[in-house]
Amino acid sequence: MKILHVEDNELNRKLVRVLLAPAGHEIVEAESAGEAIEKLREAPPPDLVLLDISLPGGGLTVAAHVRSRPELSGVKVVALTALAMRGDRERFLAAGCDEYISKPLDARTFASRVEELLLRRNNGSESV
Ligand code: MN
Protein backbone atom coordinates (compact mmCIF):
# COMPACT_ATOMS: atom_id res chain seq x y z
CA MET A 1 0.00 0.00 0.00
CA LYS A 2 1.05 3.59 -0.55
CA ILE A 3 0.92 5.89 2.47
CA LEU A 4 1.43 9.66 2.45
CA HIS A 5 2.66 10.88 5.81
CA VAL A 6 2.26 14.64 6.28
CA GLU A 7 4.23 15.82 9.31
CA ASP A 8 6.53 18.78 9.96
CA ASN A 9 8.41 17.17 12.84
CA GLU A 10 11.36 15.07 11.73
CA LEU A 11 11.34 12.79 14.79
CA ASN A 12 7.66 12.01 14.26
CA ARG A 13 8.33 11.19 10.60
CA LYS A 14 11.12 8.86 11.64
CA LEU A 15 8.96 7.18 14.29
CA VAL A 16 6.22 6.41 11.78
CA ARG A 17 8.78 5.08 9.27
CA VAL A 18 10.18 2.76 11.95
CA LEU A 19 6.78 1.58 13.19
CA LEU A 20 5.45 0.89 9.69
CA ALA A 21 8.66 -0.55 8.20
CA PRO A 22 7.87 -4.21 8.99
CA ALA A 23 4.67 -4.03 6.91
CA GLY A 24 6.64 -3.00 3.82
CA HIS A 25 4.40 -0.15 2.67
CA GLU A 26 5.62 2.57 0.36
CA ILE A 27 5.81 5.69 2.52
CA VAL A 28 5.90 9.12 0.92
CA GLU A 29 6.50 12.11 3.19
CA ALA A 30 5.53 15.78 3.10
CA GLU A 31 6.39 18.50 5.62
CA SER A 32 3.70 21.05 4.82
CA ALA A 33 0.19 21.26 3.40
CA GLY A 34 1.58 22.66 0.14
CA GLU A 35 4.04 19.83 -0.25
CA ALA A 36 1.34 17.27 0.55
CA ILE A 37 -0.96 18.69 -2.12
CA GLU A 38 1.92 18.47 -4.63
CA LYS A 39 2.53 14.83 -3.71
CA LEU A 40 -1.18 14.10 -4.12
CA ARG A 41 -0.83 15.04 -7.81
CA GLU A 42 1.51 12.10 -8.37
CA ALA A 43 -0.02 8.85 -9.61
CA PRO A 44 -1.02 6.52 -8.18
CA PRO A 45 -2.69 8.32 -5.29
CA PRO A 46 -1.92 7.02 -1.80
CA ASP A 47 -4.26 4.53 -0.17
CA LEU A 48 -3.96 6.36 3.12
CA VAL A 49 -2.91 9.84 4.27
CA LEU A 50 -1.58 10.12 7.82
CA LEU A 51 -2.09 13.77 8.57
CA ASP A 52 -0.57 15.92 11.28
CA ILE A 53 -2.94 18.81 11.97
CA SER A 54 -0.45 21.41 13.26
CA LEU A 55 1.91 22.09 10.38
CA PRO A 56 2.62 24.88 7.86
CA GLY A 57 -0.51 25.46 5.81
CA GLY A 58 -2.62 23.44 8.26
CA GLY A 59 -3.42 19.75 8.09
CA LEU A 60 -7.10 20.35 7.56
CA THR A 61 -6.27 22.14 4.29
CA VAL A 62 -4.96 18.80 3.04
CA ALA A 63 -8.10 16.96 4.20
CA ALA A 64 -10.30 19.50 2.40
CA HIS A 65 -8.19 19.16 -0.76
CA VAL A 66 -8.55 15.37 -0.78
CA ARG A 67 -12.31 15.64 -0.34
CA SER A 68 -12.62 18.19 -3.16
CA ARG A 69 -10.97 15.92 -5.76
CA PRO A 70 -13.04 13.12 -7.30
CA GLU A 71 -9.84 11.29 -8.32
CA LEU A 72 -8.89 11.13 -4.62
CA SER A 73 -12.25 9.85 -3.43
CA GLY A 74 -10.76 6.47 -2.47
CA VAL A 75 -8.08 8.01 -0.28
CA LYS A 76 -8.51 7.51 3.44
CA VAL A 77 -7.42 10.43 5.63
CA VAL A 78 -6.40 9.87 9.23
CA ALA A 79 -5.61 12.83 11.50
CA LEU A 80 -2.65 12.34 13.83
CA THR A 81 -2.64 14.99 16.50
CA ALA A 82 -1.98 15.83 20.10
CA LEU A 83 -5.00 18.14 20.08
CA ALA A 84 -7.51 16.23 22.11
CA MET A 85 -9.92 18.80 23.32
CA ARG A 86 -13.57 18.13 23.52
CA GLY A 87 -15.10 18.38 20.06
CA ASP A 88 -11.81 18.03 18.16
CA ARG A 89 -12.62 14.61 16.78
CA GLU A 90 -15.91 15.91 15.40
CA ARG A 91 -14.10 18.91 13.94
CA PHE A 92 -11.57 16.67 12.15
CA LEU A 93 -14.29 14.40 10.81
CA ALA A 94 -16.30 17.40 9.62
CA ALA A 95 -13.19 18.69 7.82
CA GLY A 96 -12.92 15.48 5.80
CA CYS A 97 -10.83 13.15 7.95
CA ASP A 98 -12.06 9.55 8.22
CA GLU A 99 -10.47 8.81 11.55
CA TYR A 100 -8.34 10.27 14.27
CA ILE A 101 -5.35 8.82 16.12
CA SER A 102 -4.05 10.80 19.09
CA LYS A 103 -0.41 11.61 19.76
CA PRO A 104 1.85 10.58 21.32
CA LEU A 105 1.52 7.53 19.09
CA ASP A 106 1.25 4.24 20.92
CA ALA A 107 4.17 2.24 19.53
CA ARG A 108 2.51 -1.05 20.50
CA THR A 109 -0.72 -0.49 18.60
CA PHE A 110 -0.02 2.07 15.86
CA ALA A 111 1.02 -0.34 13.09
CA SER A 112 -1.96 -2.64 13.64
CA ARG A 113 -4.28 0.35 13.74
CA VAL A 114 -2.97 1.44 10.33
CA GLU A 115 -3.39 -2.09 8.93
CA GLU A 116 -6.95 -2.12 10.17
CA LEU A 117 -7.67 1.20 8.46
CA LEU A 118 -6.13 0.01 5.18
CA LEU A 119 -8.15 -3.19 5.33
CA ARG A 120 -11.37 -1.31 5.97
CA ARG A 121 -10.58 0.91 3.00
CA ASN A 122 -10.02 -2.07 0.70
CA ASN A 123 -13.24 -3.66 1.81
CA GLY A 124 -14.99 -0.43 0.96
CA SER A 125 -16.98 -0.76 4.13
CA GLU A 126 -17.87 1.81 6.72
CA SER A 127 -15.67 4.63 7.87
CA VAL A 128 -16.07 5.74 11.44
MN1 MN B 1 3.25 19.34 13.60
Digit-coded pLDDT (tens) for 52-95: 999 999 999 999 999 999 999 999 999 998 866 778 888 888 99
Rounded CA-CA distance 41/22 in Å is: 27
40 has a pLDDT exceeding 60: yes
**C-alpha 16 – ligand 1 centre gap (Å):** 13
Helix, strand, coil percentages for the chain (3-state, nearest 5): 45, 20, 40
| 128: confidence class by pLDDT, cuts 50, 70, 90 | very low
What residues have their beta carbon closer than 5 A to ion ligand 1? 8, 52, 54-55
**C-alpha 82 – ligand 1 centre gap (Å):** 9
- Contact (Cβ atoms closer than 8 angstroms) between residue 60 and residue 53: yes
**C-alpha 12 – ligand 1 centre gap (Å):** 9
**C-alpha 125 – ligand 1 centre gap (Å):** 30
Rounded CA-CA distance 40/75 in Å is: 10
124 has a pLDDT exceeding 60: no
36 has a pLDDT exceeding 80: yes
- What mean pLDDT is predicted for residues 12-25? 96
Q: How many CB atoms lie within 10 A of CB 88?
A: 15
